[in-house]
Structure 1
Amino acid sequence: MQRQESNYSDMQSDIKGDLYASGKPKKASNWKSAAGDAHTRVYAEYLLEAPEEPKQVSHRHMGASMLVHELIRRQPQIHNAWTYMIGVIMCMGAAAYGYDTGFFGGTLALDSFKRDFKMNERSSTTQANLVSLFQGGSFFGAGLQLPLTEKFGRKWTILFANVIFIASAFAQTFSRGSVEIFMVGRFLGGFAVGFLSLIIPVYLAEFSPPSIRGRLVGFFDIFIQVGTLAGFWINYGIDASLPSNTFQWQLPVFVQFFPAALLMGAFFVPESPRWLMSKNRYDDALKSLCSIRKLPADHSYIQYEIKMTQDSVEAEQAHRGNATLWGLVKELATSPGHRKRVGLGLALIFFKTFSGVQAVNYYSPRIFKQLGFKGTKNSLFATGIYGTVKFVGTLIFGFFVVDRAGRRWPLIIGSIGLSMCLIYIGGYLTAMGPRDGTQPISKGDYTAIVAIFLYATWYCFGWNSVPLTLISEIFNVRYRTVSMTICLMWQWLCTFSIVRIMPIALDTITTKTYFLFGGIFIFAAPFVYFFVPETRMLSLEKIDRLFDGPERHDVEEAVVVPETEYKPELDHIERLPAVKE
């Protein structure tokens, strides 16, 4: 937060008056009907309570230019290089997942792979099985990670999953034409990614400063796109430059080892302070947080952050005790407020998955062939361009949009753009008929190809990273891993269904497949508008207030900082940033 140097805006004065007219903040009426308004109330509470983010110490005597000095001075100290490095290391698991979605569809299209595995003699079901076993393994991995991450923590569970992923890459690379061994490797790889796809976003959300949490959690999707982009272009490069032999398809499979090797750097990363606090390891949590923030233990910002986390954990434990995992699941099922959160997460995952993006990723060479691209090389080139568009869009959104525009409006606008693109593509191909690679590309084909790239852009500016960011934010510390496990298992089940039926759908209902995906997104925009709250700039503890309403339990009110203590003194008010209209 920046120190305010001038008087408050009229809006800020209105917020203060509204909050403190009766001595304490007002309750939200109902998050379902006021999803957009609840954020203003809770964010105002957060600004009034939270200390200012400490600034970097500048060094004029080192000869830096005035511009560099000013940029350093304005950068909060907790946004340090180590914070970003932790995000990069952990997101190597996302790169491994993204690489699979990028390279495998193109590898299936290589003549060398078809020859060694006798794919021309097998049915389309075998191809669907090779793709979907990865998602099937991810479904089971997402479910079975829960006891490990609860008992051993985020860091060590990530390292364990990474070892399994390395074993899966070894089995696939040296399968020697055995479809059965390759399938086992695919399942193990998915099993490991099922672990990583849940634990990494949880870790990123738990260690990130609130002001850049959207950006750091967005790293997960950025690195998925990095991996996908690498997979697309590696396939294009080897098809264009390497002879059609066994090494040609082994090379892209072997590249999976590289992100896995970099993920082993998680050994040097601190454990999640929030998980340590949930296990009553206060001293370890404080040490971990100081290591991440690069601040001393007695710093006011560290004391505030550790106090908020401790209050949240103690409130949950005081009300519900030390329940087992199965007990947490039963509690979750009987808590109306948390059922709403899980339902919201499941709906977001459904819309994200049924955007059709996974189908395009895995079967992009076949889809671009329908649009008139001749030969494997040209289809792979178009696929590479598609991956580049997705990467650039995700990068721009993750660094410059998500923590400024928030969560709600990118989802709403993205829904409208996605549905328009998909319906246009389906309408064009239905009217003109899919190509078989022998006809010349027409002007209409180029328009449909542009629509594919626009589809990728709209997806990146909303549904690519925001759903995952939201489901890593909206659950409190007691239910976070249980709730995210349910959501991620649902995601992998939906993804499994999509990639399993896509080749069959392209053979049977053909171009009408695009109408299915486009029709689903017609309903996504109103759903987000009425049911999805804004979480931008709020701490994880404060996000609970978006859903609490009048349902906060008495014991939670007693343990969490009382609302009457939110009222600031004058010196605290003067440090507030101006609230933008």
Structure 2
Amino acid sequence: MQRQESNYSDMQSDLKRDMYATNQSRKIQTWKSSAGNAHTRVFAEYTAEAPEEPKQIHNAWTYLIGIIMCMGAAACTYFEGLRADDDPSPDSLPSHLDGYDTGFFGGTLALDSFVRDFKLDERGSNTSANLVSLFQGGSFFGAGLQLPLTEKFGRKYTILFANVIFMASAFAQTFAHGSVEVFMVGRFLGGFAVGFLSLIIPVYLAEFSPPSIRGRLVGFFDIFIQVGTLVGFWINYSIDTTLPSNTFQWQLPVFVQFFPATLLMAAFFVPESPRWLMGKNRYDDALKALCSIRRLPADHAYIQYEIKMTQDAVETERAVRGDASLWGLIKELALSSGHRKRVGLGLALIFFKTFSGVQAVNYYSPRIFKQLGFNGTKNSLFATGIYGTVKFVGTLIFGLFVVDRAGRRWPLIIGSIGLSLCLFYIGGYLTAMGPRDGTQPISKGDYTAIVAIFLYATWYCFGWNSVPLTLISEIFNLRYRTISMTICLMWQWLCTFAIVRIMPIALDNITTKTYFLFGSIFLCAAPFVYFFIPETKKLSLEYLDRLFDGPDAADNHMTSRNDVEQVAVPKSEWKPEMEHAEGLPPVKE
């Protein structure tokens, strides 16, 4: 079936002629003074216009798709290493990311078997730093270079392509046979794949999810990051206590990366993002994919409404802007004040997340636990494993039961205050106690400090661990989503690089007062969220334009310099043909 043809060039000319003919003053939209109230207004409009969500859309297939896609997070998404056997130092502090690589690589780097096989003690400390930073560099370039592939080939096949690269990187690392150069190539390729996956997976999750559980499904990404972290932590503890110091000891945790990566290959059987298909004029494919995900027939009222809303949004964008190239879209985004503001919000959220102080707690935790009575490599690994377990449990509870009920704003606001108080207490206590070697008996104050560390992990998981990623995956419209998220994720890698370079210097010069610095920065996050971040829970992605651009955004479109006024665009008259949806499941009452 062919979509009803529209003469977009004539429509665009008519729109611009009418636009410049008017002498009415421009209508300025802002959300600065009403971020807290905007959601109430838009959600009332949404519930009045949208049909009630049928129970069938919360089906097992939807959750299974989310689990399959998030295997990429469990495998490799980010990475933060700790030399658990030593105090942190400028040469022994790897970079911060999360996922399975978080839990295993820092500990693997410190194993005697790894050091011996790769002769790290003969090569100097820069080799260890390069093994870490190459992963981070690859991630930065991967985040930027994924954009043309994602736009041309779609979310699903870009994820599969990146996963194949990641599996090749895991193979290179596992069977490097003492060659540092081969291992470095593997690290870079792994980071390159991670740059793809850390962006495309959240985009896919946001685009295919029902509005009422979008926060939960996007939150799966962070849940599986914590699953990977937890597995990595306890694998380190297990191999240190049970396996002899030989080549297999360090190969085992590296090889484990293959298992979630292999499971991610099941993404071949999941549908492509219906919103991406719609943006590529593949209307019938989009309808079939949506019906498959929602487990509803094509003539169901909810399917008709959802497909029509997406179609209207696509037609509106195309009518005003035409079919621009990728570079043209980037220029449009740079000139569009409304979307620049959304990108600015995303960049600010990433900044606060990265500078939340979690690196200070993670990097400094071996020394903290040592001062509080945990001596030796095994005890340090055990304490770090408990810390990772707390983060996993907190992320799991928040992702499954809180984010779609409490929303996005208040977990961030309350979490900012809670995190700051914990950081101030930890910094104050350690500063007041002074240097300790861990031989002193544990006092009541020490137990309080341990509680503060775990409270910090809990507060972090109840907000800033996952909500920023959820927000940046949903606040951009279809036309600019991957471009905007590419900017935000590349900014995240730059912030991560900066914090990695700053952290050793801060810990070496201002020591425990580092916590006061991060606590002060994070206090600013609460008013920022209160005044500038609107609530987005339970709204469809198409309705978020109304949330940001004002009450007329459904019929008007904010454009750039040469078409800056808001332009009314006729709704599409395209209707799906039911005979093209054969074999789709019937409605289950």
Smaller-chain TM-score bracket: 0.7 to 0.9
TM-score by length of 1: 0.85
Task: Tell me which residue corresponds to 1:111.
Answer: 112
Counterpart-to-counterpart distance in 1, 2:189 and 2:368: 28
Between 1:444-453 and 1:79-88, the stretch displaced more is 444-453
Task: Tell me which residue corresponds to 2:569.
Answer: 558
Counterpart-to-counterpart distance in 2, 1:269 and 1:282: 18
Counterpart-to-counterpart distance in 2, 1:317 and 1:501: 45
The code of the aligned residue for 1:474 comes to I
Counterpart-to-counterpart distance in 2, 1:361 and 1:164: 29
Task: Tell me which residue corresponds to 1:312.
Answer: 313
Task: Tell me which residue corresponds to 1:232.
Answer: 233
Counterpart-to-counterpart distance in 1, 2:119 and 2:372: 27
Between 1:505-514 and 1:88-97, the stretch displaced more is 505-514
The code of the aligned residue for 1:323 comes to A
Counterpart-to-counterpart distance in 1, 2:495 and 2:223: 21
SS of the aligned residue for 2:536 comes to coil
1:210 CA displacement? 0.4
The code of the aligned residue for 2:221 comes to F
Q: Confirm or deny: 8 A CA contact 1:222 1:394 kept in the other structure.
A: yes
- Describe the shift of the 1:444–1:118 C-alpha distance in structure 2 as closer, same or farther (beyond 3 A): farther
SS of the aligned residue for 2:42 comes to helix
Counterpart-to-counterpart distance in 2, 1:370 and 1:104: 24
Counterpart-to-counterpart distance in 2, 1:118 and 1:453: 37
1:131 paired to 2:120? no
1:86 paired to 2:87? no
SS of the aligned residue for 1:401 comes to helix
Q: Deviations over 1:184-209 (max 9, x none)?
A: 22221111011001000000000000
Q: Deviations over 1:523-574 (max 9, x none)?
A: 0000000000000110000011111126733775333599xxxxxxxxxxxx
Q: Confirm or deny: 8 A CA contact 2:311 2:572 kept in the other structure.
A: no
SS of the aligned residue for 1:37 comes to helix
Counterpart-to-counterpart distance in 2, 1:146 and 1:129: 27
Task: Tell me which residue corresponds to 1:573.
Answer: none
Counterpart-to-counterpart distance in 2, 1:362 and 1:559: 56
Superposition pairs for residues 247-286 of structure 1, below 5 Å? 247-286=248-287
1:427 CA displacement? 1.9
1:361 CA displacement? 4.6
Extract unaligned runs of 5+ from structure 1. 1-26, 55-75, 563-581
Superposition pairs for residues 284-295 of structure 1, below 5 Å? 284-295=285-296
- Aligned-residue sequence identity (percent) comes to 86
- Describe the shift of the 1:93–1:361 C-alpha distance in structure 2 as closer, same or farther (beyond 3 A): farther
Task: Tell me which residue corresponds to 1:34.
Answer: 34
Counterpart-to-counterpart distance in 2, 1:480 and 1:544: 12
- Describe the shift of the 1:433–1:112 C-alpha distance in structure 2 as closer, same or farther (beyond 3 A): farther
Superposition pairs for residues 213-232 of structure 1, below 5 Å? 213-232=214-233
Task: Tell me which residue corresponds to 2:9.
Answer: none
Q: Confirm or deny: 8 A CA contact 1:277 1:313 kept in the other structure.
A: yes
Superposition pairs for residues 306-455 of structure 1, below 5 Å? 306-358=307-359, 360-361=361-362, 364-365=365-366, 368-369=369-370, 371-436=372-437, 439-455=440-456
The code of the aligned residue for 1:485 comes to T
Q: Deviations over 1:282-333 (max 9, x none)?
A: 0100010011011111111111000000001111111111111111111111
**Count of paired positions:** 515
Superposition pairs for residues 492-571 of structure 1, below 5 Å? 492-549=493-550, 552-553=556-557, 557-559=568-570
Superposition pairs for residues 44-193 of structure 1, below 5 Å? 44-54=44-54, 76-96=55-75, 97=77, 98-121=99-122, 123-193=124-194
SS of the aligned residue for 1:557 comes to coil
Q: Confirm or deny: 8 A CA contact 1:319 1:555 kept in the other structure.
A: no
Q: Deviations over 1:442-496 (max 9, x none)?
A: 4433322221111110000000110001001100000000000000111111112
Counterpart-to-counterpart distance in 1, 2:412 and 2:282: 38
Q: Deviations over 1:317-355 (max 9, x none)?
A: 111111111111111111110010000000000001111
Between 1:236-245 and 1:209-218, the stretch displaced more is 236-245
SS of the aligned residue for 1:228 comes to helix
Counterpart-to-counterpart distance in 2, 1:390 and 1:82: 27
Counterpart-to-counterpart distance in 2, 1:359 and 1:29: 40
The code of the aligned residue for 1:81 comes to A
Counterpart-to-counterpart distance in 2, 1:172 and 1:360: 29
Counterpart-to-counterpart distance in 2, 1:170 and 1:328: 38
- Describe the shift of the 1:109–1:368 C-alpha distance in structure 2 as closer, same or farther (beyond 3 A): farther
Q: Confirm or deny: 8 A CA contact 1:102 1:232 kept in the other structure.
A: yes
SS of the aligned residue for 1:271 comes to coil
The code of the aligned residue for 1:272 comes to S
The code of the aligned residue for 1:416 comes to I
Counterpart-to-counterpart distance in 2, 1:167 and 1:364: 33
- Describe the shift of the 1:173–1:443 C-alpha distance in structure 2 as closer, same or farther (beyond 3 A): farther
Task: Tell me which residue corresponds to 1:68.
Answer: none
Counterpart-to-counterpart distance in 2, 1:138 and 1:359: 22
Task: Tell me which residue corresponds to 2:202.
Answer: 201
